[in-house]
Amino acid sequence: MTPRPRHRMTSAAAALLLAAALAVTATPAAAAPRTAEPQGLFPTDALTVPDPGQATGRRIALPTGGCEGEQQCGLARRLNQLDGFDLDPRISVRFSAPVDPAEIAELLSVEDEDGVRTGVDRVVYDPATSTVHASPERQLAPATTYRLVLAEGRGNAAAETTFTTLSAPDGLQDLQRQIDSGEASRRLGIRPGLRVEGVFAVGGAGGAVVSRLPDRAPGADRNPVPTAQLPEGSRMVVGSFLAPSWLQPDGTIRQAPTAGPGPGPVTAERLPFVAVLPPGQAPPGGWPVTVFGHGYTGSTDAIGLAATLAARRGTAMIATDVVGHGAGPRSAWEFVEGGRTTVLPAHGRGEDQDGDGVIEGGEGSRATGDAAAVWFRDALRQTTADLVTLVRSLGGTDVDGDGAADLSGDGVTYLGQSFGGVYGALLAGVDPAVTRAVLDVPGGPVVEFFRLSDHFRPIVGRALADAGLLDDADDGFDEQLPLRGQPPVVADAAALALQDHLARVAWLNRPGSPETFAPLVEPDRVLVQAAFGDGLVPNPTTWTLVEAGELWDRTSLFRNDRTATAGFDPHAFLLDQGLFWIPGLQGLGQAMTFLADGRVVDPDAEGDVWEVPVADPGVLRALNTGPR
């Protein structure tokens, strides 16, 4: 038998927060007492204080006395800087006696200011304390006051409270406004624009052989970039640009009051770019440009295949590195052409955070120290801000010094794969300068797709151990949390502690989470590509993002289960030139057509491998990957 994962019991900090929240006295109905009296409801505005500096007029005030450990105390303090509760809050109702969680789920709802009712899902029951936990059936709106209502049932009295959700998109919107107005650049004394450091002929048999030379990265000492398939006469341009940075040394962006202009930039950072230009003379004003967003642990060297199709359609493609990606600052590009080798800086953004002398893929993108619970939130927001700056740096770029623009800043589009689809949702939500965006295999929240992914799950285990909630991360963990649409689960104390912690981490991360920004994207500006049975960004998290933005009419599903590759993880199908060569080309063709003219085409027409739009959205609420 597999040994049962060993959990520590709820930390003192987690127990204190939950107990305090549920100890808030509920207002029972005037009816006679029932068998099970509600003892408290969470979330509730009783756990806030007035704050006129916030857009909601409130600020969270959870008790922090007696918290244990740097991370748990840091999490509590940072939650108390927010101006409201989560958009997908962990609802909790404690009763004076045992209840039927399925019956309570039918009686529990969230109502907005217009009286529109939202039911609950993902129900968990704690028999030791007669507490029912649940989540709203759909994501709530930011900066909105809701009623949490428990109706009277056969075995319980009624109760209700009010709570206000946080202004989740506000922080990133502030950064975008500071960039768009030029305020951030003025404060730092920088001017937008690209600095061209090298231009090379690529494509065809005579083009340059291109490699990326990572700085202190594991494995091979070079990453070849596939450029031979590019149209002959294409050019690869490498260089850098200055961008405002709001990141502090611990990987966080300062939380500013939401009624104000947001935090000021901390410094100007020189960031890399690589661009691939089609062959021939650029049209007046420069080539139209698609920004490419690479995946987690990836780099700008992933641009090759997508840039090939873009170049064949007369579009330039450009990319930069995500915060903490591209290996270290001494990373370089190597170009070999005509027997001559040229090496240029690649301006890698990775950091050796753990001091082991190796910069792992993505190392430097997570917050550290007592800010560890911030996870990737601010790396994603900063990366999005970097892309906003990049878009505004394009117009009029003269690559070869002939006085004519080679890159246009008008009508810029975006293609993001995996992690690129995640932060691409943030970009599409806040930047109107991006006319259309393709989000390939995205999902959210990040903490949730890490938890559900077999590949990323050990990272969550280590984070839980670092937070003091596991004795040994190598033993795994069992959080006993149902997916949407599944029946209620009866959970033990150890699992409930994990659920509570993960819910609070998701709450803290919501201002940098893709599903937060999905409702801000006009549907005709986005195409979402999903893959059935995705193992890295599991289908339920794609469902969350698409449902939050009501983007089902703009979602295309690759049914890998109906192909000969059904036994393989289809997550990387778009850029996989081997196993998923045909569906990858189909998906890229669909993406390029949408970016060019906004049409959403079915890649296999009358076939059943692609569903455009998704025939049954409910199919994505399941993992579709078989038993873990």
Q: What is the pLDDT of residues 258-316, one digit of tens each?
A: 999 999 999 999 999 999 999 999 999 999 999 999 999 999 999 989 999 999 999 99
Q: Reply yes or no on whether the pLDDT at 537 is more than 70.
A: yes
pLDDT above 70 as % of the chain:
93
Which of 410, 430, 463 marks a domain boundary?
Answer: 410
pLDDT at 222: 77
DSSP letter for 487, please: P
Instruction: Look at residue 26 and tell me if it is in a domain.
Output: yes
Q: Reply yes or no on whether the pLDDT at 205 is more than 90.
A: no
Identity of the amino acid at 354: D
Q: Reply yes or no on whether the pLDDT at 27 is more than 50.
A: no
Instruction: Look at residue 624 and tell me if it is in a domain.
Output: yes
Q: Reply yes or no on whether the pLDDT at 9 is more than 50.
A: no
Length of the chain: 628
625 or 606, which is more confident? 625
Instruction: Look at residue 249 and tell me if it is in a domain.
Output: yes
Q: Are residues 496 and 607 in the same domain?
A: no
Q: Are residues 246 and 212 in the same domain?
A: yes
Instruction: Look at residue 571 and tell me if it is in a domain.
Output: no
Boundaries of domain holding 455 = 1-167+446-512
Q: Are residues 400 and 488 in the same domain?
A: no
Q: Quote the CA–CA distance of 345 and 310 in Å, as a whole number.
A: 25
pLDDT at 21: 56
226 or 248, which is more confident? 248
SS3 323: coil
Integer CA distances (angstroms), 61 to 47, 84, 115, 263, in order: 5, 10, 27, 22
Q: Are residues 150 and 273 in the same domain?
A: no
pLDDT tens-digit map of 404-423: 999 999 999 999 999 999 99
pLDDT tens-digit map of 481-525: 999 999 999 999 999 999 999 999 999 999 999 999 999 999 999
pLDDT at 220: 52
pLDDT at 5: 40
Q: Reply yes or no on whether the pLDDT at 224 is more than 60.
A: yes
Let me know: does 107 contact 153? Beta carbons within 8 Å.
yes
Q: Reply yes or no on whether the pLDDT at 34 is more than 70.
A: no
Q: Are residues 92 and 223 in the same domain?
A: no
pLDDT tens-digit map of 88-116: 999 999 999 999 999 999 999 999 999 99
Instruction: Look at residue 15 and tell me if it is in a domain.
Output: yes
Q: Reply yes or no on whether the pLDDT at 428 is more than 50.
A: yes
Determine phi and psi for 344, rounding to 5 degrees.
-130, 150
pLDDT tens-digit map of 357-395: 899 889 999 999 999 999 999 999 999 999 999 999 999
Q: Reply yes or no on whether the pLDDT at 578 is more than 90.
A: no
Instruction: Look at residue 33 and tell me if it is in a domain.
Output: yes
pLDDT tens-digit map of 12-21: 444 455 555 5
pLDDT at 29: 44
Strand ranges, E, within 165-250: 194-202, 209-213, 223-225, 234-245
Instruction: Look at residue 83 and tell me if it is in a domain.
Output: yes
Q: Are residues 218 and 275 in the same domain?
A: yes
Q: Which CATH number characterizes residue 63's domain?
A: 2.60.40.1220
pLDDT tens-digit map of 171-194: 999 999 999 999 999 999 999 899
Classify the C-alpha dihedral 570-574-578-583 as positive or negative. Answer: positive
Residue in the block written with tokens 């949490």: 148
Q: Quote the CA–CA distance of 591 and 601 in Å, as a whole number.
A: 9
pLDDT at 7: 40
Count: domains in the chain:
3
Least confident span in 24-33, 425-434, 535-544, 568-577: 24-33
Q: Reply yes or no on whether the pLDDT at 1 is more than 70.
A: no
Angle at 427 between CA 614 and CA 386, to 5 degrees: 145
Those residues whose C-beta lies under 8 Å from the C-beta of residue 346, and which sit 6 or more positions away, are: 212, 213, 238, 272, 300, 326, 327, 331, 332, 333
**What is the residue-averaged pLDDT of the chain?**
92
Integer CA distances (angstroms), 103 to 43, 93, 110, in order: 20, 13, 16
Mean pLDDT of 436-447: 97
Q: Are residues 396 and 467 in the same domain?
A: no
Q: Are residues 3 and 151 in the same domain?
A: yes
Q: How far apart are the first and last CA of the chain?
A: 16
| Burial class for 69, CB neighbours closer than 10 Å (0-12, 13-18, 19+) | middle
Instruction: Look at residue 107 and tell me if it is in a domain.
Output: yes
558 or 474, which is more confident? 558
Integer CA distances (angstroms), 235 to 103, 340, 505, 575, 625, in order: 64, 17, 44, 21, 41
Residue in the block written with tokens 């199709």: 309
Mean pLDDT of 72-76: 90
Q: Are residues 450 and 327 in the same domain?
A: no
Q: Quote the CA–CA distance of 140 and 616 in Å, as a whole number.
A: 23
Q: Quote the CA–CA distance of 498 and 11 in Å, as a whole number.
A: 10
Give pTM, 2 decimals.
0.94
| Burial class for 617, CB neighbours closer than 10 Å (0-12, 13-18, 19+) | middle
DSSP letter for 366, please: S
Q: Are residues 389 and 533 in the same domain?
A: no
Mean pLDDT of 16-31: 49
Q: Quote the CA–CA distance of 224 and 205 in Å, as a whole number.
A: 15
Q: Are residues 109 and 206 in the same domain?
A: no
pLDDT-based confidence at residue 121 (cuts at 50, 70, 90)? very high
Q: Reply yes or no on whether the pLDDT at 349 is more than 70.
A: yes
Let me know: does 145 contact 100? Beta carbons within 8 Å.
no
Which of 455, 480, 512 marks a domain boundary?
Answer: 512
Mean pLDDT of 536-543: 98
Q: Are residues 601 and 503 in the same domain?
A: no
